[in-house]
Structure 1
Amino acid sequence: MKKKFFGILTFLLLAGIVLAACGNNSSNGNGNNNASENGGEEKQEKVTGSITAVGSTAMQPLVEEAASQFQAENPGATINVQGGGSGTGLSQVNEGVVDIGNSDVFAEEKEGIDANKLVDHKIAVVGMGPIVNKEAGVDNLTKAQLIDIFTGKIKNWKEVGGKDVDIVVINRAEGSGTRATFEKFGLDGAEPVKAQEQDSSGTVVKIVSETPGAISYVAFSYFNDSVVPLKIDGVEPTQENVETNDWKIWAYQHMYTNGEPKGLTKAFIDYMLSDEIQSNLIPELGYIPVTGMKVERDAQGNVTNK
C-alpha cells in the first residue's frame, strides 16, 4: 500500500514538474514574441548618411522644409538642398554628381539628358504665374497681352489699362524649369525679349516688388503681399484652377535619381511621398498634391482627364 502511495505521489510530483516547465516555456515564448514585436517597432532604425539634392528653385522651399523635418526625425542623416535651376539638377544627377535632381520639367524636355537612365519620382504639382509691381495698376491680362508684353510689343502699362509706367521684364535664367514652363504654357512658346535674368525665384520676387513697372513669373509658393499675381483672361492662379487645368501654367515637381534610389536617397523620397508631407506640408507651402489633380500631363504637354 505504501509502495502504491509513494508511486502515485512520485507520479504527481513529476507531472507537476513537467507542467510547470511547459508553463514556463509557454510564458517565455510569448514574452519573446512580445519583445520581438516591440523590438520591431523600436527597431525602425533611423537612417544615417548624407545626400545632396540640387535643382529647381520652385521646389526648393518644399524640399528644404521636408529635409529639415526628416533630419529632426533622423538625427544621423544630412540632406543638402541647393537651387541652381532644373537644368542644373537634371545635368548633375545625369552625371552622377548628386543623388537627387529636382526639376520642374520632364527629363525628356532637356537636351543632353539621358532620360532613359533617370528614374522619375513625381512629388507634387506647382502652379506658376506672372507677378507685377504694385505700381503697374493691373491685376488681369489677356493671354495675347501677356505674350505681347514678354515679347516687347507692349512697353507701357497704360497700353493695357494700367498706369503710365514703363514695363520692365524680368526673366529667369536659361535652364530654369520655371522659365521653360512659363514660356511653354504662358507664352505659347513665344521667345521673350532680351531682359534682365535671375537665377532665383526669391530674388525675382524681391526685384519685382522694388522695381516700378516690373513683371516676371514665379511659382505660387513665392506669391506674397509685396507683388500682385495676375489673372489671365479672368482666370485666377489658384490650386483649384490648376487641378482642372483651367489655369494652364503648371508643372510636376520631379525628383530624379540616376537609377533606382537606395539607402538614404530612397528613404527621403519615400518620406516626400508619405501622408505626412503630401497631406500637410505640400498644401501648407502652396504646392498641390499629385493625388488632387483631376488631369494628367505628359512630357509633350498633352493633357488628359484622370
Structure 2
Amino acid sequence: MGIVTNSGDLTRLLRGERQHPIVALRYRSVLATQHVVGRDILWRWLPQDADGAETAALLVSSIPLEIHGAEGEPREVPPGALVFLHPHRAASVSAVKAGTVMIAWVPWAELVEIESGVGAPMEVIPASALGRGLRAFLDSLLTQPSEPTLYTDYLVEQLITEMVFGVLVEAGPRTTIAGIEAPGIARARTLILIRRTEPEFGVAALAQDLHMSVRNLQRLFAVDGSTPADELRHARVDLAQELLANVGNAPLGITEIAELAGFRDAAALRRAFAWAGLTTPRELRRASRR
C-alpha cells in the first residue's frame, strides 16, 4: 500500500497553480485536504505509474466545476456532485467560479478491487446519500480538527476509505444477468467488502441492499459454489488477519480487533477462525510478530 508522506507529495499530482491546501490532515495512508481555488484555475491530473503506490482522489466541491476526462467532451459538475480522479486516467478540472474544494486522497491499492467487481465509474459522480455523507464527514474533519490518536487515526482512515469505496460502488456500472439488469455476484461481493465491518450486517441486509430476496441471493452464490454467509464470514476473517498482522495495531486488544473486523466480540472472532481452520487470533498475532 502506498503511504502518504505529506500533502505536497499528493498536491503535486495536480500539476497546477494554487494547488496547495489551506488544510491538510493525514490519517495514516489517507489524506483529507481543503483548497481555495480561483475562477478558471486549471488542475491537470496525469496518469500515474502502475507501481502499487498510486493514489486516487475524490473531489467534493462547493462550487460548479468543469472537467475534461476520458470521454473527451467537457462536462459540468454542479455543486454537490463529486469528481473521481482515477490514477490511470488523465483529466483536467477547472473552477467555474472561485470557492473551496475538499479532496479525499486514498491509496489505489485500497480501491482497486472495484475494477474487478462492479467497475470503476467515470469522472463525474452525481450527488447521492453516500456522497453527501462523505462530504459532511470531510467537512467535519477539516473545519473542526481534533487531537489525533493511534486509534482514531486508524478509524478515520478506514471510514474515509470505506466511504470512498462505497461512493464508487454506488456509481459504478451495473452488470446484467441473463439479459436482466441486476447487481450480480460481483456487486454482492463488493458490498460485502464495504459493509463487513458492521456487526449488524448479515445476509438479510445484503439482500435488501441488492433489492432481491434472500432466496435469490443464495441462488446467486450457489451458482458459484458458495453462500453469502460463508463469503461474509471469510471477508471478516481476512480483515481480522490483516489487522492482527499489522504491527501498527499492536496497542489494540483482540476484542478491539474483533469489533473493527465486524465481529460482535472476541469469542465470535475465535469461532470464525476455527471455522476457517486457523489458529487462535492471539497465536496468529504472536506468529506475525515473530
Measured against the shorter chain, the TM-score band is under 0.3
**TM-score, structure 1 length as denominator?**
0.24
Q: Which has the larger radius of gyration?
A: 1
Greater relative contact order: 1 or 2 (C-alpha under 8 angstroms, separation 6 or more)? 1
